[in-house]
Structure 1
Amino acid sequence: MRFSTLLKNPADWMQGTGPHSDVVMTSRIRLARNLRNWSFPGWSSERQRVDLMNEVRPVVATLPEMKDGFNEEYTNLTKTRKQVLVERHLVSREHAARSTGCAVVIDRKQSTSIMINEEDHFRMQGIRPGLDLRTAYEIVNRVDTELEAHLLYAFDQRLGYLTACPTNVGTGMRASVMLHLPALVLTEQIKQVMNAVSKIGLAVRGLYGEGTEALGNLFQVSNQHTLGETEAELINRIEGVAEHIVQAEVSARDKLLHESPTNLRDQVGRAYATLRFSHILNSKEALNHLSMLRLGADMDLVTGCDRGLVDMLLLAIQPAHLQLAAGRDLSPEDRDIRRAEITRRVLQSVPEPLNVSIDNDQSADPSAPSPDSDDE
């Protein structure tokens, strides 16, 4: 599969569907694996990394799940194309920063990707829409089992899978969910919720993982350690926490709807107006406004706009996607202009937010009589 084909066929996890997809955007399982008798990538010479890549890449490409997928060495990918893969959450930022001796194989549905020579020899991930860690695990576990039948993994009977970083030893598994939590942010409950998550040993990160900001009210929650718990136990724990966060977000949305309806309408309306009519939009501003638009769509305040449309826009306005579409490198100023052009074009058919009172007590028309009016 060519890179252009990869872009033309959006993954199903980008469609805004799945369990609790109004709050949980994606569920992802990542496995770290290494080969016996080979040095970890960080301790290898360039020649060793190239040799390992050349040995394992054909094996990965012939797996049934990866047939006719995207399969490329990083030396053949431009910086922009690698960054596009990061923005699509198909490879890590750290892997994209590397070149010689690194490669990635991605299935046609973009639900499975295998990074070769990241921090470990393999970083395999399965990704699904909504809260569906079990299916994501089934996807990547099937690939892992098939690989293990052909390759000799570094495994210890007492410790489990051996990895470059001690925090990944054991199952080598990280389970994470991407959560959209605008109402918890607006009601100023987000810090309390995230502190509670951290206290039970889970990590809270931003849009692109460790060290990144939670732009667009998007938060990643994942396990921090992989030793001492089985895969099933880890998945159950993450899903249980995610369910509680979903309930908290839903309650916060209900609170906004009934206690601060005008403020909610204002937030959604301002976001729509900015996205619909701006001629310059930076990344942070666009992400935060798209977050409010997604909230408005989910709460039926914006008609003709589903979350799938917003989720696709969240990708299309990313810096590397903008530059790839333009066919050249863009200055930050040019990216801001193109970002605004795209949002104006995509949203031109979306009607403005409903101009009615949320509690339906009366019309938002200022000329309409109030319930206490003495007019006959």
Structure 2
Amino acid sequence: MDHRLEPLLEKPPAWLLPGGPDADVVVASRIRLARNLDDRPFPHRLAPEEARRLCTEVRERLSVFFEEGLALEPETLSKADADLLVERSLASRDLLEAPRPTLILFNQEESVGLMVNEEDHFRIQSFASGLNLQVAAKVARPLVRKIGSRFPLARHPKLGYLTACPTNTGSGMRASLLIHLPALSRQKSSLQHALQAAQKSNLAVRGVHGEGSRALGQLYQISNQRTLGTDWSSQLEAVQGFGQEVARYERETRRALLREAGPRKLLEEDFGRAHQVLAESEALTTAQALDALSVLRLAVHCGLADELGFSLDSHLMLLNSFQLQPGHLQARVGSELPPEARDASRARLLRESLSIS
């Protein structure tokens, strides 16, 4: 493991801290902004030496902003270290796999970061725990202003900020929520209704790690699709409003699970199986662990765990949902592991962390 990444294992990222609004449903809020230079081709057309020069310029001009954080060149990282950054939402797969020099910067709290030479020259990211898009936007603004004052940005007087992908042109802003919908996921028609409502509101629905990823552990990512013709505030309001609505809908469904005899019995059985899986399994895949933790978190939040006499920490289970993914797991054990060894370590570390037996 790169020694510079070791401090990341000592604390959760800002977006996984406890106490965020509506955190029983909305895990985290993220703002991502795309910006490009007006005097250079988009990253996919940059010559390698031009891409490297931009990385050097960013280090020189923005190093003060990230003084207590890290600046990393993905080409120097192992696969396990790269996985760790993806799991903490500090880097995208597109950045890590780009055929050109790239750069990742983030602050000590991991509340704001910057990807250089991904799809766009600059991808600014900011985070907050729970349903807190306004706070995430506030965190992003100083970096946005600093970049604008130090680099000439590509902006059209009518269209707004120009981006490599036309769907980002305009504000260049994507507001997204990471939401946990275990109760709605148990009732497929209710889940479909919620996801269709999101799509009718011009919101995109993806898996936990964005486009192309699966909704492991009933975790979904919701974000705005429109960036052209509307401003920051209206885009934030649309995503924030849906977050509030889906949180209400998920809670109603959780309460209904305990009121109705059939669904309650099924949840009790699933809770027992999930607890047994975590207590007795010699090996667990990421998907198996996330699904079991999701059932346990649902039982905590709807009150079933207490009724059955189990004392479980929902936030600790949420932390484990991320800390026992492949990158974190290998960082914790200090070496790259084949899948079978990862699965065995995951099962053991989960039992130890959650004190389940």
TM-score (norm 1): 0.89
Q: Which moved more, 1:269-278 or 1:157-166?
A: 269-278
Bigger mean CA offset, 96-105 vs 224-233: 96-105
Given the alignment of the two structures, is residue 281 of structure 1 paired with residue 308 of structure 2, yes or no?
Answer: no
Separation of aligned partners in 2, 1:305 and 1:109 = 27
Report what 1:358 is aligned to. none
In 2: Cα distance, 1:117 partner to 1:333 partner: 35
| Residue 247 of structure 2 corresponds to residue 240 of structure 1 | no
Structure 1 residues 2 and 99: CA distance shift in structure 2, 3 A: farther
Partner of residue 168, structure 1: 168
RMSD over equivalenced CA pairs, Å:
1.6
- Secondary structure (helix, strand or coil) at the match of 1:2 reads helix
2:8 corresponding residue in structure 1: 6
Worse-matched range after superposition: 50-59 or 164-173: 50-59
Q: What's 2:139 paired with?
A: 139
- Report the secondary structure of 1:145's partner residue: helix
On the 8 A contact 1:74/1:100 being kept in 2, the answer is: no
How far did 1:274 drift?
Answer: 0.8
1:20-56, Cα deviation, whole Å (9 max, x unpaired): 0000000100000111211111111111100111112
Cross-structure match for 1:209 = 210
* Pairing of 1:42-61 with structure 2 (within 5 A): 42-61=44-63
In structure 2, the residue corresponding to 1:143 is in which secondary structure?
A: helix
Q: Which residue of 2 aligns with 1:309?
A: 316
| Secondary structure at 1:149 match in 2 | helix
* Cross-structure match for 1:195: 196
2:347 corresponds in structure 1 to: 340
CA contact (8 A) 2:14 2:127 kept: no
Structure 1 pair 98/325, CA: closer, same or farther in 2 (3 Å)? farther
The 3-state SS of whatever aligns with 1:125 is strand
Q: Secondary structure at the match of 1:152?
A: coil
Q: Are 1:35 and 2:37 an aligned pair?
A: yes
TM-score when normalising by structure 2:
0.94
Structure-2 residue corresponding to 1:249: 250
Q: Is the 8 A contact 1:187 1:256 kept in 2?
A: no
Aligned partners of 1:6 and 1:70 also within 8 Å: no
Give, in whole Å, the separation in 1 of the partners of 2:314 and 2:89: 18
The structure with more radius of gyration: 1
Structure 1 segments of 4+ aligned residues over 3 angstroms from their partners: 300-304
User: In the comparison of the two structures, how many residue pairs are matched?
Assistant: 348
Give the match for residue 24 of structure 2: 22
Q: Report the 3-state secondary structure (helix = DSSP H, G, I; strand = E; otherwise coil) of the residue aligned with 2:124.
A: strand
C-alpha contact (below 8 Å) 1:18/1:129 kept by paired residues: yes
Contact between 2:104 and 2:113, CA under 8 Å: does it hold in 1? yes
Give how far 1:298 is off.
2.0
The match for 2:271 is 268
- Counterpart-to-counterpart distance in 2, 1:286 and 1:332: 14
Per-residue Cα deviation, 1:323-373 (whole angstroms, up to 9, x for no partner): 22233322111111111111111122x5x8xxxxxxxxxxxxxxxxxxxxx
Alpha-carbon separation, structure 2, partners of 1:107 and 1:301 = 39
- Segments of 5+ residues of structure 1 without an aligned counterpart are 353-376
Give the unaligned 5+ runs of structure 2. Answer: none
- For 1:43 and 1:225, the matched residues in 2 are separated by 26
Residue 137 of structure 1 deviates from its aligned partner by 0.6
